[in-house]
Structure 1
Amino acid sequence: MDIQEMVLEVLARLPLKSIARFRATSKTWRSLIDSDYFRDNFISRNSSSSISWSIIQLQPHKLIEIIGHHGCKTWGLTRSPGSLVSFFVETTIRKLQVLACTDGLVLLYVEATDGTPMYYVGNPMFQEWFRIPLPHFFSLQNLQRLQNHKRFSDSGLVTKMQNGIVVSYKVVWLLTHDVGAKVDFAIYSSDTGKWEGRTVTCLRSRFWLSDDKSIALNGILHWIHDCTRSFIAYDFYGGHDDDQCSIITFPDTGVDKALLWFRRTITTSEGYIVYFNELCENGNRTLRVWRLVTYINGPEAWQLFWDVSLVSLIELGIYYFPVVMHPLNSEIIYLWSRSQKMLILYNLRTHVFSFHEETADDSKCMDGCILSFNRCSKYMKNYYFPAVTFSRNHLIFSQYVLPRWLQRLPRPQPT
């Protein structure tokens, strides 16, 4: 092993926060660290290591990190990811909204003091921001009218990954219609630096409103909408010979809704879309967790991989509702108890659980990271959603997960 290989071997044992500092010191260090060999070595060595991430509250349109995880091995951060997000723009602004977080990237809407709208995609960890040009087929007046339209949404962000690194992204706007079965997309691509318009078939678009949030995974946006028993998905990096949205029915659709304990929502874990709910049959409550394995609508779309009773919590008199699954470990579910005002981490395989109070000092969670709270109780008291007749489905929480490598922000090639 030569000296360079020894240096790279030592570097690969450091957290990404330290590696980023070495990278910034000289061109030589940057060249070594940016090599495919070192990147692949680091990712392979840390493939099972914990990563910093946050639980994001999605109502209203703001990046509100209510629960953060830091001190994780891969990055070695001393603060939660949300506390490190900052944004600077060359003009005075009166409004800033975080519209979406996907694979370490963030989509921002910024409004200047004169009312000029601006959109930015950025990598907050490296303070890289790129201003997205407005579509040439929308005038400024048209955009302002659309922003007040109940069926317009500008909060879509999807990515394309290679070897765990974002190599491309797309910003997605959508407009649905009161009648018909069509939805219009405006799509900006970092590959071309241009917008394109696309009209696709969506059989249930009339249920789809601008305040319905989406989750991005593997280049696909997933929208939960209204009172229906399904959700909508569209692959923005797929071929789409038929140009049609996928309609995915929830796996418990045939169950009497009176037996469901919570309103329907989705999350992500270990690279899958995940749906969970509790059923109460004959006085017994069981938590069932499914993962989406195919986008063909029907029973074969879902795989049931947990069917357990959280009787140990119920016997303690703890009333809870599910928040998200751990994004990297599908054995762990995050629950919130409104009565005790605390977070519950529950391992569905071992049935081991732990309590974490917001008022207590930061504590370690099951993956070895340190938990921190940010006015969590204030938001949770508003978002308890029992399953009641005619209740709306909601996407309430999302996860902001840092990448496994020092990815740079993709930019369009100069013309």
Structure 2
Amino acid sequence: MVVANLQVLSMEIGGRAVLEVILVEIIARLPLRSITRLKLVCKQWKSLIESSYLRRVFVSLHKNSSSSWSLMFGAEYPHPEAIGFHGCQTWDLQKSLGFYIKPFQRYLNLPTRCNYFYVASSNGLVWIDVFFTRTDNMPYSYKSFVGNPVLEQWVEIPPPPDQCIPTGLVTRVENDIVQGFKVVRTSRTEPRGMGVHEWRVYVYSSETGLWTSKRLLSSHPVNYAGSYPPVNLNGMLYLRERGLDATEPGVLVAYDFYGPEDDDQCLVIPLPHLYSKSVRRCLTTSGEDVIYIEILYPTLKVWKLNNNESKSGEWWLLSWEEVDMASMGLDDDCFPLAMNPLDTNIVYLWSQHHESLVTYNLQRQEFIVHQETETWRNSEGCYRMNTSGSKGYVKGNVDATTVMMLSPFVLQRWMDSVPRPPN
């Protein structure tokens, strides 16, 4: 119906410039899911829709609308979505993002009997590893892909030169458009003496289509084993490493993979406070911030990484006043899971007592206990909670030394094509 009406408008209005302005004003009010289909109408519409002018108008009209997002488990979960938000005005997806990841094998002509694992995400792109039985026609037991499951666009990543561990995905963004991505795999870590430790990685760049090796130096041991996806933000990976002894809370080892090529020094960021057997912690991102959430019952604290540490001398800043969970009616067996990727007022917890996911609003000081696989709608869109998956995730991470790290997968506010390496 939308296409038919716009085609009639094209015939009735003369003057190319006037028509294009009217078309832009109409198309920019549609969700991206509909706009993607309109690109197929004709070459002229495709060119108009891919223009920077329509993008600017769309982003301006939808600046107060949320984008679709999910919080994802690590690679050990074949159904990786913990919490999902969809149906918003920006994209108008009928299902949560996990639904669009599941059938991606058919787009790539892969065997139906294979296991896929979500590895990481950055600025609307996801990294998926697919494992299958080795055959004469397939010399590798797995394949890696980076892509956008909603747009059904995927890039196959060639195997690295040596065996190494999947680590993280980072992106380069200019003018709100993803211009490139890098896939990072850990080769080995080892001490070099004099308090210096070496972290060897292989990095694949979409801009060159090649793997390169890097030897990064850290003042703290890097023992990354691929158990948890590191946090990534603005081209930087943040790996959580345990403290040197049991009384320390641990550190973040961070490196900017889009920084100067000759810079091989990692940043070592201490986590807040001392170790406690009763503490529960998680690390995540929200908006443009790295967020650390800590529960030492009955107190809940939310910390934000201070990007101006060199001026203040403080690595972390409390972004909210301490919350007395007991006064809010929350039990003493809650685990922090993540923060809403776009709203720093919303924290997600797991309640052992209710065996359910809990949404806690820091601003309103209200919490909601969610039922298993519950889906509900509000004025912005639809939320879906994977309670059974979260239960298994928490059960496997009850050790107080663990920092839970769900991976945010957030679609961009515009339908960027996936960057492709040169032929």
TM-score, normalised via structure 1 length: 0.85
1:182-261 matches, within 5 Å, as 182-227=198-243, 229-239=250-260, 241-252=262-273, 255=274, 257-258=275-276, 261=279
Amino acid at match of 1:155: T
* 8 Å contact from structure 2 (residues 190, 198) kept in 1: no
Count of residues paired in the alignment: 387
Distance 1:395 1:339, change over 3 A: closer
1:149-164 matches, within 5 Å, as 152-164=164-176
Structure 2 residue aligned with 1:410, among 415, 419, 422? 419
1:87 aligned partner: 104
Amino acid at match of 1:336: W
Amino acid at match of 1:170: K
Distance 1:103 1:60, change over 3 A: same
* 8 Å contact from structure 2 (residues 148, 418) kept in 1: yes
CA distance in 2, matches of 1:34, 1:155: 33
* 8 Å contact from structure 1 (residues 209, 225) kept in 2: no
Structure 1 residue 99, shift from structure 2 partner: 1.8
1:44 aligned partner: 60
The alignment yields a C-alpha RMSD, in angstroms, of: 2.6
CA distance in 2, matches of 1:317, 1:292: 28
* 8 Å contact from structure 2 (residues 167, 226) kept in 1: no
Mean CA deviation greater in 70-79 or 81-90: 81-90
Aligned identity (percent) is 33
**Pair 1:363 & 2:376 matched:** yes
* 8 Å contact from structure 1 (residues 286, 307) kept in 2: no
Structure 1 residue 187, shift from structure 2 partner: 0.9
1:124 aligned partner: 149
* 8 Å contact from structure 2 (residues 284, 405) kept in 1: no
CA distance in 1, matches of 2:294, 2:409: 22
Partner of 1:307, secondary structure, is: coil
CA distance in 2, matches of 1:179, 1:103: 33
Amino acid at match of 2:351: S
**Pair 1:101 & 2:146 matched:** no
TM-score, normalised via structure 2 length: 0.83
Structure 2 residue aligned with 1:167, among 157, 173, 179? 179
Partner of 2:104, secondary structure, is: coil
Structure 1 residue 364, shift from structure 2 partner: 2.9
Structure 1 residue aligned with 2:292, among 254, 257, 275? 275
CA distance in 2, matches of 1:316, 1:91: 46
Distance 1:316 1:112, change over 3 A: closer
Structure 1 residue 130, shift from structure 2 partner: 1.5
* 8 Å contact from structure 2 (residues 126, 409) kept in 1: no
* 8 Å contact from structure 1 (residues 358, 376) kept in 2: no
**Pair 1:134 & 2:159 matched:** yes
Structure 2 runs not aligned, ≥5 long: 1-16, 245-249
CA distance in 2, matches of 1:325, 1:187: 29
1:218-367 matches, within 5 Å, as 218-227=234-243, 229-239=250-260, 241-252=262-273, 255=274, 257-258=275-276, 261-262=279-280, 264-280=281-297, 285-294=298-307, 299-311=313-325, 314-315=328-329, 317=331, 319-358=333-372, 360=374, 362-364=375-377
* 8 Å contact from structure 1 (residues 222, 231) kept in 2: yes
CA distance in 1, matches of 2:129, 2:393: 25
